[in-house]
Each structure stands twice: as structure tokens, then as C-alpha cells.
Structure 1
């Protein structure tokens, strides 16, 4: 169970801080909810406490894991499926996993693909979403602002080896 003030990540939305734990009535039933404030987009989410583990809600990574995430951005890009629909599904699955290293792989792969050949509209949106999730967690984990975390991601993407078949 999380507490007010805990820094957490909600897959597909990003990292934020639990502002409150409240009991609310929804459809005639009372449930307890985590009220999560996401700094990116100034969004508030209500997540039922009972289903938080199944939803993938997890603590933000510790600061000592940030370098491993940044290294993942620099790794060589493997050959990617030439079918955009297959690529999209594969990357969407990685994003849904909630694993920060998988999110970094999505950002690395799609960024390389964008530079090399461009992306479909769906892949562009997926890249934007993955990058938002990645930057939000790195900012909270590393104790930095969003702009600083975004610049850090950009620098590491710039150091990545060229795409091999991206």
C-alpha cells in the first residue's frame, strides 16, 4: 500500500506523486482511491487502491538506477520489423509493461526510426507518450526538473549508435 507523498509510476501515463487517499462513491459503491498528480500535463488520476497492483502502479525507480536507464538509450538499435503495424504493437506492449527499461527501448527505437525514415502518425504519438513517461520518471527519480530530464534523454539519444535496419 502506498502513502500520501509517495512517488509512483502509472503505466501509460507516467510518474507522479500521491496527493491523497480518499474514499469516494462511484456507481453506488464506496471505494478507496489514490489521487495521483502527474506533473506532465498537470493531470490528476484516481486509481482504486484495491486494483493498484493489477494496474501496474509501482514506485519510481531509485536514483541509482537512472544511469542504467540512460545507458539503454545509447545501446545499438536492433533491426526493426518493416511493418509499421507490427512495430507499433510490439512497442505498445513494451509501454504497457510499465518497465522503465522497456519504455527506454521504445524511445530509443522509435527515435532512431524517426531520424532514419520517419514514423507513421500512430508511432509518432506512441513515441511522444513513451518519452513523456520516461522523462517524468527520470525527473522524479533523479530529483531534477522536466526540462533537465528531457535534455538528458536527448543527449543520450544523440550518443546512440545508428539504427541497424530501423
Structure 2
């Protein structure tokens, strides 16, 4: 159970603060909601029913600096998840984004970075759907890392590279 003031990552919506936990009638039936406010935009407010497992599955506490450093330390050992079949690849990448498991997100980013480099060497490019998944994954991971590390999002790649070296 989250409480007012907790900071969470809410799926692809970004980092939010639990502004309140209160009963509301948003669907014709009164129920209890977490009211989330995006920490970077007061305009983005999300109402998450406390009894909806699917919606709650999109919420997780923001990782700590030590958790970020631990994830970075294992990046080189993470395997790749390239799937040749376009439809199966889209399904798998969509699942990874939805589940928001940081290890899987890292594997996705690593796979697409390496695939992009390989294609570039042959004068080719990633498919637009792969670029979209890469962008979503980077946004999710880098925003959370930046918050946990207390740095700007644009500094995350440098931080990772410095700690991998």
C-alpha cells in the first residue's frame, strides 16, 4: 500500500508522487484511488484504483542509487533479446515495456543499440517500430535513473558509461 508523498514510477507515464489516496466516483461506483501527479508536470494526473491489479502492476517504487549502480554493474552480462520475426518481436518488446522490469528494459535497450550499430555498418537502419520501442525504453529507464541519482536525464548515459568503464 502506497501512502501520500511516496514517489513511484507509473508505467510509461513517468515518475509520479502519490498526491492522495481517496474515494472518488469516476465510473458510477465509488472506490478508492491513488491520485498520482507527475513530478515534472502538474498537468499530468493519474487516478489508479487501489483494487485494480493490472493498474497497480504499472506502479513501482523508484529505485535507489545503490539499485541503479547494481543494475549498471550487470549490464555487460545481460543477454540479448533479438527476435527475427517482426510480429513476435513487437509482442515481446511490448510485453517488456508493459511489465517495466528494469533488467528486461536494459536487455531491450542493449539489444537495439547493438542491432542499430550492426545495421548502420551495412548502411541500413532499425525499423521504425524498433526505434519506437527503444525510445520508450530509454525514456523509462533514464528518467528513473536520473531521479534516483539526482542528475539530469541527459547525464544518465555518461554516468552509465563511466561506471561500466
Same fold (TM > 0.5):
yes
**1:112 CA displacement:** 1.9
Q: Give the conservation status (yes or no) of the 8 Å contact 2:78–2:107.
A: no
1:144 equivalent to 2:151? Answer: yes
Higher relative contact order (CA 8 A, sep 6+): 1
After TM superposition, which residue ranges in structure 1, 4 or more long, deviate above 4 angstroms? 39-42
For residue 44 of structure 1, what is the aligned residue in structure 2?
Answer: 45
Q: Give the conservation status (yes or no) of the 8 Å contact 1:95–1:103.
A: yes
**1:128 CA displacement:** 0.9
Q: Computing the radius of gyration over CA atoms, which structure comes out larger, 1 or 2?
A: 2
Instruction: Provide structure 1 residue ranges, at least 5 long, that are not aligned to the other structure.
Output: 161-166
For residue 56 of structure 2, what is the aligned residue in structure 1?
Answer: 55
1:13 equivalent to 2:13? Answer: yes
Q: Distance in 2 between matches of 1:40 and 1:132?
A: 13
User: What is the aligned length?
Assistant: 158
| Secondary structure of 1:5 counterpart | coil
1:92 equivalent to 2:89? Answer: no
- For residues 53 and 59 of structure 1, do their structure 2 counterparts lie closer, same or farther at Cα, with a shift above 3 Å needed? farther
1:124 equivalent to 2:124? Answer: no
Q: Distance in 2 between matches of 1:76 and 1:138?
A: 18
| Secondary structure of 2:52 counterpart | helix
Over residues 19-58 of structure 1, what are the superposed CA-to-partner deviations in whole Å (9 max), with x where a residue is unaligned? Answer: 2223321122112222223346763322112225763122
Normalised to the residue count of structure 2, the TM-score between the two structures is: 0.77
Q: Distance in 2 between matches of 1:92 and 1:152?
A: 27
**1:81 CA displacement:** 2.2
For residue 84 of structure 2, what is the aligned residue in structure 1?
Answer: 82
- For residues 151 and 22 of structure 1, do their structure 2 counterparts lie closer, same or farther at Cα, with a shift above 3 Å needed? farther
Q: Give the conservation status (yes or no) of the 8 Å contact 1:100–1:134.
A: yes
Instruction: Provide structure 2 residue ranges, at least 5 long, that are not aligned to the other structure.
Output: 120-124
Over residues 53-85 of structure 1, what are the superposed CA-to-partner deviations in whole Å (9 max), with x where a residue is unaligned? Answer: 763122112221111222344446537222232
For residue 2 of structure 2, what is the aligned residue in structure 1?
Answer: 2
Q: Distance in 2 between matches of 1:32 and 1:81?
A: 41
Q: Distance in 1 between matches of 2:54 and 2:65?
A: 22
Question: Which piece of structure 1 moves more, 126-135 or 61-70?
Answer: 61-70
